[in-house]
């Protein structure tokens, strides 16, 4: 017996790593010799629940310690906006954003936290951290 899809978005999870998204642009960090952390935050993120097809709303927090590059904010905003019609699980979203961010900005350290609004009485928060191999012992991270 063939299982019926619940929504038009449900099958999209299989190739989420291959999904084409706008590039996160960068600019040269003139203070690469300094250790500092940049905090990015938005409360206007939306994507689609891959099971129900309904919108999911979230706040996204990215903290990173730049090396030679810093993320350009307008391109990061456009990158996040591209998820508006994408069916994606919260856990996959968090991992994909950090992977793309690290690939673009090549930070010494980065952390992402996604906080999704209540749905069905459950709030989802997903966190992931990245450390470059060269920076593991070179600085103290905030807790």
pLDDT tens digit sequence for 68-80: 999 999 999 999 9
- 62's CB contacts (< 8 A; 6+ apart) are 39, 40, 41, 97, 98, 101, 110, 111, 112
State the catalytic residues: 49, 56
Domain covering 25-131: architecture: 2-Layer Sandwich (3.30)
Distance CA 60, CA 77 (A): 11
User: pTM score > 0.75 for this model?
Assistant: yes
Instruction: Tell me the domain boundaries of the chain.
Output: 25-131
pLDDT tens digit sequence for 80-131: 999 999 999 999 999 999 999 999 999 999 999 999 999 889 999 999 999 9
Nearest to 45 by CA among 56, 29, 30: 56
Nearest to 47 by CA among 59, 36, 38, 35: 59
- 10's CB contacts (< 8 A; 6+ apart) are 50, 51, 87
Calculate Rg over the CA atoms of the chain.
Answer: 17
């Amino acid at each position: 017996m063939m299982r019926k899809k619940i929504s038009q978005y449900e099958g999209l999870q299989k190739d989420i790593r291959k999904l084409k998204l706008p590039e996160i642009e960068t600019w040269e960090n003139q203070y690469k010799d300094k250790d500092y952390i940049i905090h990015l935050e938005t409360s206007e993120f939306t994507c689609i629940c891959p099971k129900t097809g309904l919108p999911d709303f979230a706040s996204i927090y990215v903290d990173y310690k730049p090396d030679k590059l810093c993320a350009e904010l307008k391109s990061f905003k456009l990158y996040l906006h591209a998820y508006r019609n994408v069916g994606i699980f919260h856990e996959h979203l968090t991992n994909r954003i950090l992977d793309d961010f690290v690939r673009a900005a090549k930070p010494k350290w980065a952390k992402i936290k996604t906080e999704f609004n209540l749905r069905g009485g459950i709030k989802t928060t997903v966190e992931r951290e990245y450390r470059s191999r060269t920076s593991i012992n070179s600085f103290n991270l905030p807790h």
